[in-house]
Copies of this chain bind each other. A is one copy, B any other.
């Protein structure tokens, strides 16, 4: 299994299994036994136990090159074991690239960063379209040759607009939504259609500031660090499972616009890292938090 050093993706196709179930003896043995009995070669196995919750988590990736089951069969064959261990599980194949829709409003920093990374091959996904409630970033989409869908939002058309968005997302077989500084609240209906498949990025501070203009509040409070958090969107606004966080140092010499600028740098790197983990099937959600097999 010697592979060239410079490959970030395995040469042959792989399958990834994500498991979450009650902890009990024999779990690893059973799952690895299944892979082994069909001549799969495990190339990554990470396991975590939360002793307080008696919960077991595993990510297992194996090479499909010598595997003697077709992709369609694997799921069927796994089902009895999964039922026996009360597993919540996901099965992904590296040959099936996730399809991602980017949601934006006016700010371009996350959008450019994600598109440049995509072009550089860092994001194992297809990005067929961009959705926005403004026209302002259409030129960016055009520069990259991407479809740009403008959905103007008014107080009275939100339900209809989201219905139309949903239709578009289904027609384009979208798996994952990335709110790349999208300044609209996502409705429960859209959230329910993409459970733990919508990533958001927002600022975060020590201490936290509630209400409008958080950077102004942070400036007034004289904080020495500003932060950004990427999380899955749930019905509790900005309270969904945290995937990644980072901070940057600021000082009295930074004014509000400096904080905003430094915040943009954080937002783009934090969102990109969270998305990369998500697309690599490295994030498991339970009890409103995440296990990240980084």
Q: Which residues of A contact B (CB under 8 A)?
A: 1-3, 5-8, 10, 23, 25-26, 28-29, 32-33, 36, 39-52, 54, 107-109, 112-113, 115-116, 119-120, 122, 143-144, 204-208, 216, 219-225, 227, 229, 241-247, 251-253, 255-258, 260-261, 264-265, 269, 288-292, 294
Contact = CB atoms under 8 A, between A and B. Distances in A.
A208 B221 CA distance: 15
Given A224-B244, A252-B48, A112 B116 contact: yes
Contact of A208 (B116, B206, B222, B229): B206
Contacts of A144: 143
16 contacts: A1-B23, A5-B255, A5-B256, A8-B257, A8-B261, A28-B32, A29-B33, A45-B45, A46-B46, A47-B47, A109-B120, A122-B261, A205-B206, A224-B229, A224-B244, A247-B247
Number of identical monomers bound together in the oligomeric complex: 4
Contact of A43 (B49, B52, B246): B49
A116 B122 contact: no
Nearest to A228: B206
Contacts of A222: 241-242, 288-290
B52 A206 contact: no
Nearest to A7: B257
A276 to B, nearest CB: 9
